[in-house]
Amino acid sequence: MDLSRLRQIYYCVMRESAFQKRWKEIKDGKWRGVFLNKVWTLWNDKEFLYYEVESGTPNPSKSSKRIKSSTLPGDSQLNDEDLLQSYLRLDVPLQKFYSEWSKSDPLFEKVSNDFLGVRLLNQDVVENIFSFICSSNNNIIRISSMVEKLCLFYGNEIATVDGIKYYSFPKVTALADPSVESKLRSAGFGYRAKFIQQSAEKIVELGEEAWLTNLQKLPYIDAKKELMKLAGIGAKVADCICLMSLNHLEAIPVDTHVFQIAQRYMPHLKKCKTVTDKVYNEIGEYFRSLYGVYAGWAHTILFCADLRKFQDVPTNKEHTIESIKETKKAAAMKRKNAPTKTAVKKAKRK
């Protein structure tokens, strides 16, 4: 039984984060979200991940099953279990990569002990593009609200679960309609309304499904450049989309948190007051050389360790590479005074 797999699922799904706006905790340890035009409810015990699915058919189907934590996707036609495992990227041998990243980087080894499983969700590219446009100069609550409004206004109803209606994410063609901008502005989207309509229109112009599919086949840098043709998509957001939706797992989105992390590895960056294009690219290349083709995944773990939103999980994020050896004693005292594993686990489920 691979208990770490369950922890990996916990961190990527069972927490609200900036990376996933449509998952909500409906009760202790039980989460509900929408992907692939289905409503999913997930929960787990020590051995299994359980899931319940409601699909948008004329007679909505409902199934409840469990996945043992050691199973992996097979080659058979994709069913609900295969879809879920693909969404959680359970085919990626994360423990192996943790070991490799730890050997390459003592700071990663230090912080990863507190984050023994952070998985990147394999998210829908259309939903991710427009969700990130909504995220511009915004907070998580407002981003989630905007995404839900897009689904309510332009998506299709999937199912009603526990009295709540769930909707699919809109098709690009629906968002490309000229009337979209004014409606979204009246709904509080501000300048993002224009970016959403213009980006949708541009995607249709570029070939819609064929263009989106081709982004996964292109080299990472080329896919990033293509995404930056869209209104409201800069380098960081393009990297986020490449990393989370296009399987370009070497992409390194650089924001304030990542810039601060990079300064611990690259002290000369402390002289830089802003992240110029040159600095941005230098940071990406540094982490790609350090972690390899899955650099974006490794960087995400450092990002999680740095975020204050994850404060309820004990971390040692203030340590630099140079100070690790000198602070062993202090870290040991901190662990000694920290809550027990049982207490921490209960705290997570609140």
Q: Per residue in 265-303, pLDDT tens? A: 999 999 999 999 999 999 999 999 999 999 999 998 888
Measured CA to CA, the distance from residue 141 to residue 273 in angstroms comes to 29
Look at residue 341 and tell me whether its pLDDT is greater than 60.
no
Q: What is the mean pLDDT of residues 121-134?
A: 94
- Which of 4-13, 119-128, 188-197, 313-322 shows the lowest mean pLDDT across its residues? 313-322
Look at residue 345 and tell me whether its pLDDT is greater than 50.
no
Look at residue 133 and tell me whether its pLDDT is greater than 50.
yes
The pLDDT of residue 29 is 80
Decide if 35 contacts 88 (C-beta within 8 A): no
Of 282 and 10, the one with more pLDDT = 282
Which one is catalytic: 149, 171, 202, 236?
Answer: 236
- Cα–Cα separations (whole angstroms), residue 196 to 203, 234, 242, 340: 11, 14, 18, 46
Average pLDDT, the chain: 81
Measured CA to CA, the distance from residue 292 to residue 101 in angstroms comes to 9
Measured CA to CA, the distance from residue 2 to residue 241 in angstroms comes to 30
Look at residue 69 and tell me whether its pLDDT is greater than 50.
no
Q: If pLDDT is split at 50, 70 and 90, which confidence band does 350 have? A: very low
Dihedral Cα 235, 238, 240, 244, nearest 10 deg: -160
Instruction: Give the DSSP letter of residue 166.
Output: E
Look at residue 196 and tell me whether its pLDDT is greater than 90.
yes
The pLDDT of residue 156 is 95
Q: Nearest to residue 159, comparing CAs of 41, 263, 246?
A: 41
Where is 158: in which H helix or E strand? Answer: strand 157-161
Q: Which residue has the tokens 């690259």?
A: 266
Look at residue 131 and tell me whether its pLDDT is greater than 90.
yes
Residue 52 has phi, psi (to 5 degrees) of -130, 135
The pLDDT of residue 306 is 79
The pLDDT of residue 281 is 97
Look at residue 26 and tell me whether its pLDDT is greater than 90.
no
pLDDT in tens, 238-251: 999 999 999 999 99
Look at residue 76 and tell me whether its pLDDT is greater than 80.
no
* pTM summary value: 0.79
The pLDDT of residue 46 is 75
Spell out where 59-149 has E strands. Answer: 62-68
- To the query of whether residue 236 is one of the catalytic residues in this protein, the response is yes
Look at residue 175 and tell me whether its pLDDT is greater than 90.
yes
Of 335 and 298, the one with more pLDDT = 298
Residue type for 338, please?
A
Of 312 and 104, the one with more pLDDT = 104
Q: Extract the tokens encoding 168.
A: 């699919």
Measured CA to CA, the distance from residue 6 to residue 258 in angstroms comes to 27
Q: How many CB atoms lie within 10 A of CB 316?
A: 18
Residue 122 makes CB contacts below 8 A (sequence gap 6+) with 86, 87, 88, 89, 244, 245, 247
